[in-house]
Amino acid sequence: MSVYDQVPVFENGLAQPVFPFTDGKSGEAYDAVNSAVVRYCVYVESDYDADGDGKCDLVKALIQVPRSAAEGHYKAATVFEARPYCAGVNADGYEHMKEAEDADTPAFDFSSLYRKAAHGDPSEYISAIDAAMKADPVEWYFEDKGSEGSYCYENLDNFNYYLVRGFAVVVSAGFGSLGSDGFELVGSSYERDAFRCVVEWLHGDRTAYTDRTRTVATRADWSNGKVAMTGRSYAGTMPFAVAVTGVAGLETIIPVAGISDWYSFLNQQGAQRYWPKEMLMSFLSYYCTSRYSDPQLSDEQRAELDAFHHQLSLEQLKSGCDYSDFWKEGNYTLQADGIRCSALIVHGLHDENVSTKQFEMMYKSFRQAGQNVKLMIHQGPHITPTMPNKGYGILIEGQYYDDIVNRWISHWLCGIDNGAEDMPAVLVQSNIEQDVWEKADSWETGIALALGSVSEGVSSLNTDWAAAGIDQNNFDEKMSTASGCMNRRYMTQHLDESVTIQGTVCVDFSAALESGDAAAAFEGENVNDADKLSFALGTSAGKMDDVKMTVLLCDIAEEEFDSIQTTDAERNVVPVRNINEGGLPMGGGIDALDVREFETQHRNWNVITRAYIDLCNPDSAYEPETSADSVELKTGEAHAYHVYMNAARYTVVPGHRLAVVLGTEDPVNCLIHKKYTVTVDDSSVRAILPVTATAEPKALYADK
């Protein structure tokens, strides 16, 4: 048998690396005639005509498939990454937001994106292998004009592991990207449907062309019709978005650090939770709109993109940091009944980019839909357990992450009876010993530990950063280790037994606005140099908004202890160290990756989880949509608050103390630095902690 007519081989439930690999980055390394992996681009016909030219808009997708499948020796299952960044980005996002802050652009009608047109009726089809023979690497690997020194489809190597095991790999950047039509309307059904159309083409239900002229069409004649969507961050979000459509052919998803609800990505219970200068969805939309780099873009088309982005800003500004219909389409949890596939959900417990609440909401949605869903939760930040672009991976119960995914998709896409569907519902890395991965039958424990304050009196908390001696670099430490003018700690006695928290902690308290010039928007300062439109977000709704309280749950000890923590000001980096160079084989002649583990910090405190709430949203609860209603705070008028913290899994050992910390502004996530003082009724502070084993209620003592 030739290396070009090999078929997939499965051993021990895994697809084996029996296919040779050919790099596809340049003409020198890639020769379609002699390549074991062939590549070509298709332009999938969508349902929409956003530009009004009477033709359905096209969505570009890059196809990578073992030559054997393209030549018809077997039908390949597909790993699909929907990643708006892959076709290029606009790295000047911050500068652009300031350039556009005073823009005088015409209004943009978002309903025009959904215009319908007649589908094409191609008279000529060519095979995948013929399309691949005509393809040129310049179609998928070229310098990104929007980001100096970067290349488009820079994630070309992320899935080589799967190519040498017989899977096809497809990537697409969707609407608004270079090579595609349309606009990048973040978090909308319009955005989602571009990727749904790609799945439909892979399943045999939609037309795709070999180029933008629409003269020649091609089918995915190598495809077995079954697709797994995966990827991290934005690429981990779109699998969930497409899954709620119930599209045929999507058999499973493996979302990594994906978003379930775009409102909760940027906001939390009425308060801003994300990095200040990226709070407007138009920032991300512009960043991903690589169509700006299209040399054939006319001045009129460029002006229309500008108008689109400006209007997107104005639409978000209408609701400020509160929930509204603006966010509804991006709240995929509301559409959970449409899910028809399984899911292996992956997330890091130290991910401050996409909060851990997102994986929990996604998990609940799949449970609601009655589908097979698993959680695989590690101690890292915003990463994938395998990072090919950085040359390393972490082990999961001594296993390679991609081997676990291999087993999962071999079952769901190839019908291999390997028991993947019966893996533990929850697999989570211990914060005490990295080599230990705990298992559970469900994320919900059904057991709670109650913490209740036994202190009387009130605590007065202000927003005076200077008096508190805090900044972006020391906020967590200052809040965790002592009470001050900006925070109050409520602490248990030393624990006499281990407590393992698993789920969402709820903290209740009663608070009132003590002072502040509400008429002057609390004398807000633009301390993070945000553009005018972003800075206006806290006042644009025409009502009091984003009077922030920060809530932390901390592990405190007299002696320093080892813990995994982020180490940068933005809380986005957990350092790693090498423990086995080249210890993760990729197979197929691809370079092996190093095995690394997370470095630990030696401190007497650790933030277990955090949350924010706007005091103007006392009715806000866990569900994003409960943050739609708000009140005008009146001096001295108290309200009861219920803060739902980001999902956590953490073991506190005997001799340590738990601390509930209430504070005001967090300088890391502070768009508008306001001046106000809040009083908290110390006796009102309560916390309910989901735990894995029964424990006696604990008293909280205000640390004055």
State which H helix or E strand residue 510 sits in. Answer: strand 506-515
Amino acid in the structure at residue 476: D
Give the C-alpha distances (Å, rounded to integers) separating 460 from 122, 539, 577, 641, 643: 71, 25, 43, 16, 19
Cα 619 from Cα 603, distance rounded (Å): 37
Q: At what angle do helices 281-288 and 299-317 cross, to 10 degrees?
A: 160
Cβ proximity of 367 and 336 under 8 Å = no
Cα 647 from Cα 500, distance rounded (Å): 13
Q: Which residue has the tokens 């040399």?
A: 295
223-232 and 76-82 beta bridge pairing? parallel
User: What b/e string do you get for 58-95 counting C-beta neighbours within 10 Å, with b at 16 or more?
Assistant: bbbbbbbbbbbbbbebbbbbbbbbbbbbbbbbbeebbe
**Catalytic: 233?**
yes
Dihedral angle sign, alpha carbons of residues 202, 203, 204, 208: negative
Amino acid in the structure at residue 26: S
**Catalytic: 351?**
yes
The total of other beta-carbon atoms located within 10 Å of residue 370's CB is 11
State which H helix or E strand residue 314 sits in. Answer: helix 299-317
The total of other beta-carbon atoms located within 10 Å of residue 507's CB is 25
| Candidate list 96, 203, 347, 382, residue with the active-site label | 382
Record the tokens describing residue 298, joined without a space: 């006319």
User: Terminus-to-terminus CA distance in the chain, angstroms?
Assistant: 77
Cα 419 from Cα 13, distance rounded (Å): 8
Record the tokens describing residue 662, joined without a space: 């209430």
| Candidate list 35, 147, 233, 540, residue with the active-site label | 233
Amino acid in the structure at residue 24: G
User: What b/e string do you get for 544-557 counting C-beta neighbours within 10 Å, with b at 16 or more?
Assistant: bbbbbbbbbbbbbb
Q: Radius of gyration (Cα) for the chain, nearest Å?
A: 26
| Candidate list 47, 306, 322, 351, residue with the active-site label | 351
Report, as residue numbers or ranges, the catalytic residues: 233, 351, 382
